[in-house]
Amino acid sequence: MGQKINPLGFRLGTTQSHHSFWFAKPKNFSMDLQEDERIRNCIKNYVKKNKKIASGFEGIVHIGIQKRIDLIHVIIYIGFPNLLIEGRTRGVEELQMNVQNEFNSVNRRLNIAIKRIEKPYGQPNILAEYIALQLKNRVSFRKAMKKAIELTEQTGTKGIQVQIAGRIDGKEIARVEWIREGRVPLQTIRAKIDYCSHTIRTIYGVLGIKIWIFVNQE
């Protein structure tokens, strides 16, 4: 049987780099790892609560964390910055205060920066959120998948595969449906592949969305 592996972890050190940069002693490693997870969750919850447009979009591609002795530097890579801040710095300051209060770390300062991603629809996380929104609005899953692929093709990617699993369209028996456009060489380590898995809660159960995007080959 084919052994499934996460495409990002499989390519670490070649085409993929870590999202967290810090060094810790073995006994403190697990605490620092949990702290990273809590920072990411706190930021995502803040964005969910305070986004200006009630579109269901978070627009966060990923969150990078760099830690030093006296500083935690967080970089939010976001596709649609206006969802978080509408041309004002107060949004970032407010978020920074919110996260700082959550952790109440006296010894370390927290610094949050926002970077805009130029082609948001070339990112699997944003596409997964787009498909999730369509499915919640009772759009046909095949129509949502095809529309997502159309949006990706405009960004100039070489290939995309989208998979949805669960009680699709409210059917009693769960099934897996997938669609592929272009090349997606999962076995080739030199191929830069972006991947994400996203869970959505619908009225008839939980659906899982997986997206693989073949960006380029080194």
Same domain, 132 and 150: yes
Count Cβ atoms within 10 A of the Cβ of residue 74 and give its class: 0-12 exposed, 13-18 middle, 19 or more buried: buried
Distance CA 10, CA 184 (A): 15
Is there a domain that residue 1 lies in?
A: no
Indicate the residue type of 171. K
**Per-residue pLDDT tens over the stretch 183-210:** 999 999 999 999 999 999 988 899 999 9
Is there a domain that residue 4 lies in?
A: no
Look up the CATH number of the domain holding residue 110. Answer: 3.30.300.20
**Among the three residues 55, 84, 116, which one is the final residue of a domain in this structure?**
116
Decide: 72 and 65 in contact? Cβ < 8 Å.
yes
Same domain, 14 and 110: yes
Q: What is the pTM of this model?
A: 0.87
Residue 206: half-sphere exposure toward Cβ, Cα within 13 Å: 4
For residue 170, give its domain range: 120-217
Same domain, 96 and 145: no
**Per-residue pLDDT tens over the stretch 62-113:** 999 999 888 899 999 988 766 565 555 567 788 888 888 877 666 788 888 8
Look up the CATH number of the domain holding residue 171. Answer: 3.30.1140.32
Q: What SS3 class is residue 179?
A: strand
Helix, strand, coil percent values for the chain (each to nearest 5): 35, 30, 35
Distance CA 192, CA 150 (A): 20
Distance CA 61, CA 59 (A): 6
